[in-house]
Amino acid sequence: MPSNFIRDIIDEELAAGKHEHIVTRFPPEPNGYLHIGHAFAIGLSYGIAQDYKGRFHLRFDDTNPVKEETEYVDSIKEDIRWLGAKWGDNLFFASDYFEQLYEWAVGLIEQGKAYVDDLAPEQMREYRGTLTEPGRNSPFRDRTPEENLDLFARMKAGEFRDGERVLRAKIDMAHPNLNLRDPVMYRILHADHHRTGNKWKIYPSYDYTHGQSDAIEGITHSLCSQEFEFHRPLYNWFLANLPVPHQPRQIEFARLNVEYIVTSKRKLLQLVNEKHVRGWDDPRMPTIAGFRRRGYTANALMEFCNRAGVAKRERVNEYSLLEYCLRQDLEDKATRRMAVLDPLKVTIENFPEDKTEWYGGANHPSDETRGTRKVPLTREIYIERDDFMEDPPKKFFRLGPGREVRLRYCCYITCTDVIKNTAGEIVELRATFDPDSRGGSTPDGRRVKGTIHWVSSSKNAPLEARHYEQLFTKPNPEEVEEGQTFIDNLNPSSEQIAAAYGEVELKNAQPGEPIQFERKGYYILDTDSSDQRLVFNRSVGLRDSWGKKKQ
């Protein structure tokens, strides 16, 4: 990744001899799937570790068993591997440190720096104060260390109900930063943990766990998104008041924002639970799994993150830049195939009914080493409906009555008749082909301006093509009228499904293989596919609006 303010800080610290080597980490909570913002954070932390020949840790901050699942742990690992980040032997869980965190909490109680509070959650919020008014001390704040130790041990033993008591750090209820107004360190939760089972009845808060886990692992730079800036004083308070083996430094950066995308895990979970999408990996979702299923590549996502850059202030990136990065990556990778998405039948009347001619088509126009495939021409074919006009304008160079076009790879045809149904709709075209034009040229050297793609009507691969638009209608999905929510901005046309036909070679498409449907866009085989039903997702169209705009 290019230089940025974080790298400048690291360079200064290395020059001053503060570190022998750099250690970064990515600390996801296993309560949902990773999204594009996480990809940005992974690329930043992993890139720094790589470039400075340091270590990169993957640590799951698994402190809330109510919302965490093994499914999320597995999906996060898969996504990070797919992005290309490698943690090696450095896989950790905050739950690995539960015993140590508990012991340190006991130490704070013994020093009079933590206490057990009996206030109900709504009372705690009332006592906390506001941004303009100081908070008030809890009536339980002055319990003796001995009483607090006894209550905390009983909390750990499971004697109390969920929410009946909490352990709080004793800092300053009048502090201008609300995060330092006696924050909660432990709460009671009678819930099975995905790794520790029912061993624990109390669980540490994220703010208490985060910095201490960094310290235990020897993290040098804890890179966080901007919303953690106001948590940093609390991060440092715990480090200063606990006998931690190491002092990491927290640095915040502006998170990645993209038009038409929401990255709140709570809202993404709502989309899934309310079945507005097919699941966490729906191709319309901004999750890494969703992008992968749609046909995005790890290179494209990382290039987008690099172009977005690391900054201190938040800004919104154009969705068209994301698509541009994907087109740039797929251009050289995608295998070429023909598919007709809105079929119109054409009968070539002078082509024998029982004959099939096979023509060679390049698998990639600029890479001869990738070879060719065979494309079958039969008497009846399908072309795109919008490749024909009954009364074409002057600059329409495709098929029309009496007009001649080139069929991609094979020959010239001329439209001789238009067949309509009783409603006046075009249902079929009649045409003739020039036998001397086989291979795409003629002895007399005449040229045609139009080349169209096509498939045989009898030797093809029936398929379902899923076309996607942005999930929301507004660049800022949170922009709503009074009484509305972001759900009201959902795009009803975000997924459109078409019954289509592709050339027979599409039956051999492999999972994860990018394919360009010629003249249509880039596609990928969907996980819903089977031997009986091919499903292709359009990753992105061929039109490059962002690149053209920047020229």
7, 255, 459, 519: the active-site residue: 255
Retrieve residue 298's tokens. 């790890």
Signed CA dihedral, 11, 15, 18, 21: sign only: positive
Place of tokens 């309310």: 274
How far is Cα 363 from Cα 375, in angstroms, rounded to an integer?
11
Is 466:538 a contact under the CB 8 Å cutoff?
yes
> Is 99 buried (19+), middle (13-18) or exposed (0-12) by CB count in 10 A?
exposed
Place of tokens 């009914």: 353
Could you tell me which of 472, 488, 471 has the C-alpha nearest to residue 480? 488
99 an active-site residue? no
29 an active-site residue? yes
249, 265, 294, 538: the active-site residue: 265
Is 218:23 a contact under the CB 8 Å cutoff?
yes
How far is Cα 234 from Cα 232, in angstroms, rounded to an integer?
5
How far is Cα 343 from Cα 362, in angstroms, rounded to an integer?
23
13, 29, 464, 513: the active-site residue: 29
DSSP-derived secondary structure for 364-410: STT-GGG-EEEEEE-SEEEEEGGGB-SS--TT--SB-BT-EEEETTT
520 an active-site residue? no
State how far the alpha carbon of 183 is from the alpha carbons of 118, 129, 166, 173, in Å. 14, 13, 10, 9
H-state helical runs in 274-349 = 288-294, 298-308, 319-333
Strand order in the sheet with 23-26: 23-26, 55-60, 91-93
Strand order in the sheet with 114-117: 114-117, 166-169, 184-188, 202-204
Strand order in the sheet with 534-541: 335-337, 515-517, 521-525, 534-541, 461-468, 495-502, 339-340
Is 518:337 a contact under the CB 8 Å cutoff?
yes
How far is Cα 484 from Cα 245, in angstroms, rounded to an integer?
50
Q: Between 206-217 and 232-241, two packed helices, what is the crossing angle to 10 degrees?
A: 60
How far is Cα 235 from Cα 241, in angstroms, rounded to an integer?
10
- Active-site positions? 29, 255, 265
